[in-house]
Amino acid sequence: MLFSSMTYLLLFFPIFIFLYFLNKNVHYRNTILLLASLTFYAWGEVTTLPYMFIIAIVNYTLTRALDKTEDKKRLLFVWILVILNILPLAYFKYSNFFLDNINIVLNTQFTINEAFLPLGISFYTFRNISYIIDVYRKKFPAEKSFFIVLNYILLFPTLISGPIVRFETIREEYHERKITVDDVVEGLERFIIGLAKKVLIANQVAVIAANVFSITDLNSLNSTQVYIAVISFTLQIYFDFSGYSDMAIGIGRIFGFHFLENFNYPYIATSITDFWKRWHISLSTWFRDYIYIPLGGNRVSMLRWILNIAIVWFTTGLWHGAAWNFVLWGVYFGVLLVLEKLFLGKVLSFLKGINHLIVIFLIMISWVIFNSNSVDQIMIFIQRMIFIQPYDMNTLIELNFGNYWPYYVLGLLFSAPIIPWLDTQCKTSTIYNFAKKLIVLALFVLCIIFLIDSSYNPFIYFKF
What are the pLDDT digits (tens) for 40-55?
998 878 888 888 899 9
Question: What is the structure's pLDDT at 462?
Answer: 56
Does one domain contain both 238 and 203? yes
Does one domain contain both 117 and 171? yes
Question: What is the structure's pLDDT at 214?
Answer: 92
For residue 85, give every residue at least 6 positions away whose Cβ sits within 8 Å of its Cβ, in sequence order, or none.
Answer: 55, 59, 125, 128, 129, 132
Does one domain contain both 126 and 226? no
Does one domain contain both 155 and 209? no
pTM: 0.93
Query: Which one, of 37, 185, 212, lies nearest residue 119 by Cα?
Result: 37
Domain range enclosing 418? 183-270+352-463
Does one domain contain both 365 and 416? yes
Query: Which one, of 251, 249, 257, 256, lies nearest residue 180 by Cα?
Result: 256
Question: What is the structure's pLDDT at 77?
Answer: 85
Question: What is the structure's pLDDT at 72?
Answer: 77
- Kindly tell me if the per-residue pLDDT of 448 is higher than 60: yes
Q: Which of 175, 258, 320, 356 is catalytic?
A: 320
- Per the domain annotation, does 23 fall within a domain? yes
- Per the domain annotation, does 403 fall within a domain? yes
Catalytic residue check, 320: yes
Does one domain contain both 171 and 188? no
Does one domain contain both 249 and 363? yes
Long-range contact list for 413-418, CB < 8 A, 24+ apart?
414/197, 414/201, 414/239, 415/235, 415/238, 415/265, 415/267, 415/268, 416/265, 416/267, 416/268, 417/265, 417/268
How many structural domains comprise the chain? 2
For residue 7, give every residue at least 6 positions away whose Cβ sits within 8 Å of its Cβ, in sequence order, or none.
Answer: 1, 43
What gap in Å lies between CA 39 and CA 70, rounded to an integer?
Answer: 39
| Average pLDDT value for the chain | 91
Min mean pLDDT across 46-55, 134-143, 292-301 is at: 46-55
Does one domain contain both 163 and 260? no
Q: What is the mean pLDDT of residues 452-459?
A: 71
Q: How far apart are the first and last CA of the chain?
A: 15
Among candidate residues 123, 155, 177, the one where a domain is terminated: 177
Q: From residue 295, how far is each of 35, 77, 330, 353 by CA, in Å? A: 40, 20, 18, 36
- Kindly tell me if the per-residue pLDDT of 112 is higher than 80: no
Among candidate residues 144, 177, 210, the one where a domain is terminated: 177
Does one domain contain both 48 and 131? yes
Q: What is the mean pLDDT of residues 414-421?
A: 94
Q: What is the mean pLDDT of residues 273-288?
A: 96
Does one domain contain both 191 and 172? no
